[in-house]
Amino acid sequence: MPQLTPGETAPDFTLTDHTGRQVSLHDLRGRRVVVFFYPAAMTPGCTKEACDFRDSLEPLQSAGYEVLGISPDKPEKLAKFVEKESLTYPLLADPDREVLTAWGAYGEKKLYGKTVTGVIRSTVVVNEDGTVALARYNVKATGHVASLRKALEVA
């Protein structure tokens, strides 16, 4: 499973968000974008991570970053997740796991000592020109957003 590395072009995508709207990466050219991949809406770790991004959204946006979350959940489940946790950024549905796979965020991983196939919790930062600025794979749900902000020098 290939993972993205800094300097390469991020694969384009168009996915449906939690409101039913189509969101395309190419429409965000000219902006820096934080794309995070998580296994499942409304699970404890994913809720922690999503809420950390929500709580960091204003400083990230002030520094010029957009935030997008992607999971294999359907838009209807994402809408419930957004409402329940008061999330304030788009969550995108990738039920076919095509984008997850293209971005290196789906494949074999270790879970409780066993090798399984699933979503690899990952975050990729895309520059204004569509190239990868930063790619982190197998991140922890707790503390990841704070670590990311430090790496991006976002206070």
Residues 119, 39 contacting (CB under 8 angstroms): yes
What are the φ and ψ backbone dihedral angles of 65, each rounded to 5 degrees?
Answer: -105, 140
Give yes or no: 46 in active site: yes
Which of 46, 70, 93, 141 is an active site residue?
46
Written as six digits, the tokens of 119 are 């979503």
How far apart CA 61 and CA 75 sit, in angstroms, is 24
Q: Show which residues are catalytic.
A: 46
